[in-house]
Amino acid sequence: MASVSGSVRLQRCIVSPAGRHSASLIFLHGSGDSGQGLRKWIQQVLNQELTFQHIKIIYPTAPPSSTVGPSFVRPYTPMKGGISNVWFDRFKISNDCPEHLESINVMCQVLTDLIEDEVKSGIKKSRILVGGFSMGGCMAMHLAYRNHQDVAGVFALSSFLNKTSAVYQALRDGDGVPPELFQCHGAADELVLHSWGEETNSMLRSLGVSTKFHSFPGVYHELSRAELENLKSWILTKLPGEVERQRE
């Protein structure tokens, strides 16, 4: 697996902090998008750039599905064989089917390199948040709960885990305190059903994860301003600036 991660270096769109860099946020896009695309989408929804005084935001881009490592050159199944920027393959978009663990595991290793780059630059893992939209949120849950339970927290927007997810097994087998999950879901989502998000949240909570779940009436499979404002507030509670940390 190390050879695969070594051959895949993700493109990264970076938003630097306004002041001294003391924490990092890795924000993963949904299927078919890019890091730059997600950054622009957030900017459109908020009518301004998402920025922090002390937090660097990293928007990586998933490699095309045909190039995710030399060991599996394959198309994205839900697109009927199309090539797309995806974090992993799915057998279908459903919570009631097996996970495509081979592709998920390879990308966990690739994203581990991204986390390790931040650690090498002087940022502790306890000052790193990982999360994403849709498939990106699912990828973040695999990355954190199966590989990096010492990150500051996880967020998942319009995301879900399959009923038999390896994430659940990892939490059953673990004995530490898993990072907190911040989850948001549009109640009108017709692609990733709201009930799938609720079921994921309930399952994780039953396995010892401290969770927050926010429902947004009338919101489809999309980002909303209220959701992003809530997320921004949560990010600052998990990754406070220097002044706030001194007060604690």
**Catalytic: which of 22, 134, 159, 165?**
134
Check if the beta carbon of residue 110 is closer than 8 Å to that of residue 139.
no
Reply yes or no on whether 221 is catalytic: yes
Map residue 15 onto helix, strand or coil: strand
Which listed residue (29, 54, 189, 194) is catalytic? 189
Q: How far apart are CA 158 and CA 196, in angstroms?
A: 9
If we measure between CA atoms, which residue out of 168, 160, 235 comes closest to residue 208? Answer: 168
Walk across the sheet containing 23-28 and list its strands: 11-15, 55-61, 23-28, 128-133, 153-157, 181-186, 211-216
Instruction: Give me the helices (H) in 83-193, please.
Output: 101-120, 135-147, 166-173
189 is catalytic: yes
Q: How far is residue 210's CA from residue 152's CA, in Å, rounded to a whole number?
A: 12
Whether 185 is catalytic:
no
Residues labelled as active-site residues: 134, 189, 221
